[in-house]
Amino acid sequence: MIKFLDLKAINDQYRQELIKAASRVIESGWYLHGENLKEFETQLADYIGTPNAVGVGNGLDALRLIFKAYIELGVMQQGDEIIVPANTYIASILAITDNDLKPVLVEPDINTFNLDIDKIEAHISKRTKAILVVHLYGQVCWSERLEEIANQYKLKIIEDNAQAIGAEFQYKNGDIKLSGNLGDAAGFSFYPGKNLGALGDAGAVTTNDSKLAEVVSALGNYGSIKKYINDFQGLNSRLDEIQAAFLNVKLKFLKQEYEARRTVADFYLANIKNSNIILPKVFDRKNHVWHLFVIRCKVRDKLQEYLLERGVQCLIHYPIPPHKQTAYKELNELSFPITESIHQEVLSLPMSPVLEKEELVKIVDTINEFE
């Protein structure tokens, strides 16, 4: 069986270093807010290109804390509207509603699965305060037009960078920035299955705004900057020392890993030839780090079953859009035809830096024989 994602094989590549890192933490006697977290925050900020990076408990908290910090800073208030793609993973929406902000869902572009930037303006109202872009499946969602819209309407742009660490955007003048350094603030997830995966939960916020970083950091630690002095009603969301130590090991190999993912994607793109299948579109190779390789097929369920019977495990990201979830009854009546067709047609092929050539050949041959 070719697994969709073999996490054990991925982490086995760094087995010795991970064990050493864990034992150093165990022996240090210091398990939260120590040297490993500091080092990771420094490394991550350096890598992304922002002056600030704050480690937090997970990716959902990273996004929740950004909105909570903007509310504390008076930039937003309860009831304000946040534009967000309708086809995102539910965590993006939860971060908004958890802060009593209102998600305004906008359709994606069917070709990239990312928020359709041309549709944003029609959804801006007096209460719109931010656009939450999601770099879905590992592909940057950005354009110079997006920046113009945000400037014109004085909106913050927040990046959900859970899936796209390492992806780059190139401006017309040639400048290149990494996702996480494009908007006003970005939330990262280091959930084990993400491209930079911890061995448990972890997340981070990056931003060029040092005041925002300070408030996010305080909010994730009971609202306290100085111990036992509480400036805000915060929460407990910390990136612990063991996970930070693992992430310090794995961050060094991130580029090597996303390049291996790009090789897998190139192979799929060049060799999958089946008229039942629509391959993902990429406009610039640098834009995509291939967290997921997502194809479309009208008879998706049949294709998934066919592949599983022949030893190829594929998953669906995601089977039900947020507005159709029981958790969001108030959104259930809304209609987003592009989003709904995506959720019915998408299938994620095995994607990881440790797939072997023979496995790729088998996957492609099996797909090409599907009728």
| Residues making contact with ligand PLP (CB under 6 A) | 58-60, 88-89, 91-92, 134, 160, 162-163, 189, 191, 201, 203
Write out the DSSP string of 305-335. Answer: HHHHHTTB--B-S-SS-GGGSGGGGGGTT--
- Would you say 69 or 162 has its CB closer to ligand PLP? 162
φ, ψ dihedrals at 244, nearest 5°: -65, -40
- Would you say 160 or 240 has its CB closer to ligand PLP? 160
φ, ψ dihedrals at 65, nearest 5°: -70, -30
- Would you say 156 or 317 has its CB closer to ligand PLP? 317
Exposed e or buried b for every residue in 309-338, given b needs 16+ CB within 10 A? ebebebbbbbeebbbbeeebeebeeeebeb
Report the residue number whose CB is nearest to ligand PLP: 59
Q: Is 260 in contact with 36 (CB distance < 8 Å)? A: no
Distance CA 224, CA 222 (A): 5
- What is the H or E stretch that residue 266 is in? helix 254-271
Q: How far is the CB of 66 from ligand PLP (least distance, A)?
A: 12
Distance CA 96, CA 343 (A): 22
- Would you say 18 or 60 has its CB closer to ligand PLP? 60
Q: How far is the CB of 198 from ligand PLP (least distance, A)?
A: 9
Q: How far is the CB of 5 from ligand PLP (least distance, A)?
A: 13
- What is the H or E stretch that residue 102 is in? strand 102-106
Bridge partners, residue 52, by sequence:
207
- What is the H or E stretch that residue 53 is in? strand 52-56
Q: How far is the CB of 89 from ligand PLP (least distance, A)?
A: 4
Bridge partners, residue 308, by sequence:
none
- Would you say 60 or 146 has its CB closer to ligand PLP? 60
Q: How far is the CB of 137 from ligand PLP (least distance, A)?
A: 9
Half-sphere exposure for 43 (CA within 13 Å, toward CB): 17
Q: How far is the CB of 71 from ligand PLP (least distance, A)?
A: 19
Q: How far is the CB of 356 from ligand PLP (least distance, A)?
A: 26
Vertex 306 angle, CA 301 and 312, to 5°: 105
- Would you say 59 or 350 has its CB closer to ligand PLP? 59
Q: How far is the CB of 332 from ligand PLP (least distance, A)?
A: 21
- Would you say 84 or 367 has its CB closer to ligand PLP? 84
- Would you say 162 or 196 has its CB closer to ligand PLP? 162
Q: Is the dihedral of CA 146, 150, 151, 156 positive or negative?
A: negative
